[in-house]
Amino acid sequence: MVQFEGFTIGDSLWLTLTSITTVGYGDISAATVLGRLSTVVILYFGGIFVFAKMAGDFFDYRSLRREAIKNGNWSWSNMNDHIVIIGSKIDSTQHLVRLISECRREPETAAKEIVLISDKISKDQVGGLPIVLQGFDIKYVKGHGNVPAVLEKAAIGNAAIVIILAWKDEEPFSDGHAFDVICRVRAQNSMTKIVAECVDDDNRERLENAGATLVMRPVRAYPEMIIGGLLNPGSTIILENLFTAEGERIVRSEKLLNGVWSDIVSDYLDSDSGTPVAYRDANTGEIVTAPSGATNITADAIFLLGA
C-alpha cells in the first residue's frame, strides 16, 4: 500500500489490518488497480482463509481435548499437591464415590484436586467416567498404575497423597502388584504419602519397606477408613484388631445403669471390666457412642471394649 497507493506506513498498516480482519471501516481505501488487487488478495486469502483455518483448528483442538479428557487420555502433568487414586482391576463406582466423598469431607484433603487412574470402572463401563463420578469434578487417566507413562499423565511426581487400591481385594498376589506400583511411585516422588491396601498380612512389612506410609487391609464396605487412617496414624490398626479373633472385641453387657457417663466409665475401668465405648438408651433403644463425660444416661445395655 505504501508503494501502490502512496500511503504512509501507519495508514498502510491500518488498511491492511482492517482488510485482513474483514472489518473494512472505509475511512481509507485503495484507488489504484494494483492497490485494489492487493486488497482482494489480502481479504480472501489472508483474512477469510487464514482466519477461518485458525478458527477451525482451534475448535477442532477444543473438541479433541474434551474427548481426550472424557476418555482418560489427557495428560495432567502440570498438576501439583493433588491426590492420585490408583484403582484396581475393576473399580466399583459406589466404592469410588464414598472414597472421593471422604476426601472432600476432610478439611486437610477437601481442597486438593483428585486424579483417578483406572482401566475399567464397573463391568459395563462405556467411554469415560460414569456420570455419578463426573459430578465430583475429578481428573481421569485411563490405564494401570504400573505403567510409567500413565503415572506421568497423573503427575505422580507432584502428588501429595497416593492411594493404591488392591488389584483384587481377595487375592494375595495383588500385594505383588502393590509393591511394584509403590516402587514406581517412590522413584518419581520421594515425599508423597502413600496408602497401600494389603491382602495378606505377611506382606505388610514388605510394602512398608518399599515406601508405603500406611498399609491397611482392603475394606470395600468402608473406604472412609483409608483417609481416616492416613490423617490419624494408628487408627486403622485399632479398627482392624476389632475384626480379628486375636485382637480386642466389642461386647455387650445387659445391665440397667443410671448416672453420669464419666462415673460409669471410671467404675468399669477401676474394676478392670473393660472400657465402655457406647450404651443403649433404655427409653428410646438408640445406640449412643462416645457420649460427653457429663452426660446423664439411663441405659439398659452397655458396650465394652476388651480383650
Alpha carbons 266 and 261: distance in angstroms, whole number = 9
Pairwise pLDDT comparison (44 vs 262), residue with the higher score: 262
Percent of the chain whose pLDDT exceeds 70:
95
End-to-end alpha carbon distance in the chain? 96
- The neighbour count for residue 60, using CB atoms within 10 Å, is 10
Confidence of residue 82 (pLDDT cuts 50, 70, 90): very high
Pairwise pLDDT comparison (303 vs 1), residue with the higher score: 303
Residue 300 φ then ψ, to 5°: -110, 0
Identify the weakest region by mean pLDDT among 17-21, 28-32, 71-75, 145-149: 17-21
Residue at 277: amino acid letter: V
Beta strands in the chain (DSSP E): 83-86, 114-118, 139-142, 161-164, 193-197, 214-216, 249-260, 275-281, 287-289, 296-306
In this model, does residue 303 exceed pLDDT 60? yes
Query: What are the pLDDT digits (tens) for 200-231?
Result: 989 999 999 999 999 998 887 788 888 888 88
Residue at 72: amino acid letter: G
Query: What are the pLDDT digits (tens) for 61-71?
Result: 888 888 888 88
Return the SS3 of 33: helix
Query: What are the pLDDT digits (tens) for 106-144?
Result: 999 999 999 999 998 876 666 678 888 888 889 999 999
Percent of the chain whose pLDDT exceeds 90:
55
> Structural domains in the chain?
2-70 (1.10.287.70), 83-241 (3.40.50.720), 249-306 (no CATH)
Q: Which three cell numbers stand for residue 209?
A: 519397606
Residue 244, pLDDT score: 62
Stretch 97-104: mean pLDDT: 93
Residue 125, pLDDT score: 66
Contact 134, 65 (CB under 8 A): no
